[in-house]
Each structure stands twice: as C-alpha cells, then as structure tokens.
Amino acid sequence: MQQKHYILGINASPRKNGNTETLMAKILTGAKAQGATTETVHLRNLRIKQCLACEGCRVSRTCRLHIDDMQVLLVQLKAADGIVLGSPIHNYNISARMKIFIDRLYPFFSFNPENRREWHSLLPPRKKGLIYAVGENPNPKQAGVVLEAMRLPLETLGCEITGEFIAAGFFEKQAVLKDEALLEQAHNAGVNLVKSLI
Ligand SMILES: Cc1cc2nc3c(=O)[nH]c(=O)nc-3n(C[C@H](O)[C@H](O)[C@H](O)COP(=O)(O)O)c2cc1C
C-alpha cells in the first residue's frame, strides 16, 4: 500500500483565526480530500529565535546557538512531501515571523568549504511547495514582493512550487470566508499539491 503523503502547512500570521489561517485550513482540506495527512504549524505559537549569522550550522548542520522550536520544525520539513507557506502581507512583504523562519532554514545549505559560492541543498529532493499571501489592499501592486520572498528560498532548496496565489482585499479576521471563489481556489490548490506528488 502506498504511504500517505504528508503535507505541512506553515502559517506565519500573528493573528489567531486570521485570514491566512482560514485559507490554510481550506488548502489542507483539499489536500486531505486527496488522501494526504496534514499538519498546520502556527509560527505565532512557537519559540523561534532569529538567525544571528554565526554560520556555525555550516559545520554542525544544525543550529547550536538556538535550541528552540526550529529544531523540531527542521525535522518536520525534512519529512514533509509537500510544504505550504502562508503569510499575511506586511509592508509589501512576508511577516516578520515568516522571515525569521526562512532565515533559520540555513542548516539545509551545504557549502563547499573551498568555495562558499558553491552549495547544495540538504533538504531531501522531490518536495513540492505551495505559497500564498493575504493582503488588505485590493491593488495587486500593494502585495509587493511577498510571493518572491517565499518562492525564491523554497526553490533554492530544491522544492518545486506547484501553485501560488495572493488573496487581496481582506482585513477583518475570517473575511475570506465571504469569498466563495477564493475558498474554492484554496481548496483546489491543496488538491493539486497532492496530485503533483502522485
Ligand atoms: C504591519 C502590517 C502591515 C501591513 N501591510 C500591508 C501591505 O503592505 N499590503 C496589504 O495589502 N495589506 C497589508 N496589511 C494588511 C494585512 O495583510 C491584512 O489585514 C491581512 O488580512 C492579514 O492577514 P491575517 O488576517 O492572516 O493576519 C498590513 C497589516 C499589518 C498589521
């Protein structure tokens, strides 16, 4: 029997029951409908200190400076077949929590000691990714660089992005629930993420 795919969702909104969280639930419902096992991590509930750029993880392959919740998250990320990153748009960019999380992925980089411009990813191959962001302003220009800020680091680690979208024009908590088309888009994105793994 084929093992169930494991989809890990990372919600980077500081707001409990916010729009990012609501859409994450829809995406993961879609993934579950395709038979996947899903898990959501709310970064706001974790203790993840910011990278201090000591570069010690280049040698130790792990962060020895901060023994915090990122240690477990790195193991979960290695195990995941699909990774969903969701962030609110904060000042045209990802939230501060998402940025701290992404910087702490540095132990997944293996650098050539002879030439630090050469490296390869220690994140196991064939992972697929889905990224999305939620913003208040309906003008897509106000989303700034939010998708790039998640797409580029995931791709750099060898994770292929199978879908991405911006939910624009939402402010109040759970405002996205009023937009049926968006909810369907989120559900389908979860379905397609799992389909891309089969
Ligand atoms: C500090 C801060 C900065 C924001 N910057 C933007 C922005 O640049 N563009 C935008 O469209 N919305 C911006 N917003 C609005 C949020 O993205 C919006 O309220 C969204 O629904 C938040 O998602 P959440 O409900 O998951 O927290 C900002 C909100 C905050 C608190």
Answer whether residue 2 shows pLDDT above 80: no
**Residues 39-78: pLDDT tens digits?**
999 999 999 999 999 999 988 888 999 999 999 999 999 9
pLDDT of amino acid 89: 98
The residue whose C-alpha atom lies closest to atom 10 belonging to ligand 1 is 135
Residue 2's Cβ-side half-sphere holds a number of Cα atoms within 13 Å equal to 9
The domain 6-195 belongs to what CATH superfamily?
Answer: Flavodoxin domain (3.40.50.360)
More confident residue, 137 or 198: 137
Distance CA 84, CA 164 (A): 10
Mean pLDDT (whole number) for 189-196: 98
Q: 106-110 — which CB contacts under 8 Å span 24+ positions?
A: 106/51, 106/57, 106/63, 107/57, 107/60, 107/61, 107/62, 107/63, 107/74, 108/74, 108/77, 108/157, 109/58, 109/157, 110/58, 110/61
Residues with CB under 6 A from ligand 1: 13, 15, 18-21, 88-92, 134-137, 142, 170-171, 173
The residue whose C-alpha atom lies closest to atom 2 belonging to ligand 1 is 90
The pTM is what? 0.97
Mutate which of 26, 89, 137 for ligand 1? The one with the most ligand atoms within 8 Å of its CB, which is: 89
Kindly give the number of the ligand 1 atom that is closest to the alpha carbon of 137: 11
pLDDT of amino acid 117: 87
Question: What is the domain partition of the chain in residue ranges?
Answer: 6-195
Token pair for residue 39? Answer: 């898990």
**Residues 144-175: pLDDT tens digits?**
999 999 999 999 999 999 999 999 999 999 99
Kindly give the number of the ligand 1 atom that is closest to the alpha carbon of 88: 23
| 62 CA distance to ligand 1 middle (Å) | 32
The residue whose C-alpha atom lies closest to atom 28 belonging to ligand 1 is 90
Answer whether residue 176 shows pLDDT above 60: yes
**116 pLDDT tier (thresholds 50, 70, 90):** confident
